[in-house]
Structure 1
Amino acid sequence: DDPNEVLEEGAQIVADTNKKPIEMLGHVTSSYFSPNLNKSIALGVVRGGKKMLGQKLIIPMENKNINVTVSDPVFLDKENKRLNA
């Protein structure tokens, strides 16, 4: 949930790092910092897809866990106002 954190592409996505073995729910497919939005954005594949919207998940990295939130993949100009301007 840190807007400056650019996730590592290919990183696993999990719900709980304390439950062993850790169950992988998906992975990060693409991640960049957006200068237009002034924050990082990422795409990933997550089991359950749309049912997971709003869920808090975790990207476990070597030195830390990164908290993320599953959000709608359409997050800019949902009403197509820019397209039809």
Structure 2
Amino acid sequence: VEDPRQAIPMKMIGHVTSSYWSQNCGRSIALALVAGGRARTGDTLYVPMPGGTIEVEVSDMVFFDETRGRLNG
């Protein structure tokens, strides 16, 4: 959602399809389908969860090893 303070039912702008713990990044990462897709790179969005709301950043699809140094190492 764009505004975590909006009333329920919240206007959803996307859906998290999967999430994982990334040992390389030292944090959780997730894949999601978001309205506006790549044009939203850098935007802050919010994921409402039963225990509270999580602030997330829309990142580029390649956010680790952007220069592909490990691939071509």
How much does 1:41 deviate? Answer: 1.0
What letter is aligned with 1:80? R
Greater than 6 Å deviation, 4+ residue runs: none
Q: Deviations over 1:32-85 (max 9, x none)?
A: 111222211111110000111111111011231111111111012222211222
> For 1:41, what is the secondary structure of its paired residue?
strand
Q: 1:24 to 1:83 in 2, by over 3 A?
A: same
Aligned length: 72
Gaps of 5+ in 2: none
Gaps of 5+ in 1: 1-13
Q: State the TM-score, normalized to the length of structure 1.
A: 0.74
Deviates more, 1:20-29 or 1:45-54: 20-29
Q: Percent identity?
A: 49
RMSD: 1.4
What letter is aligned with 2:20? Y
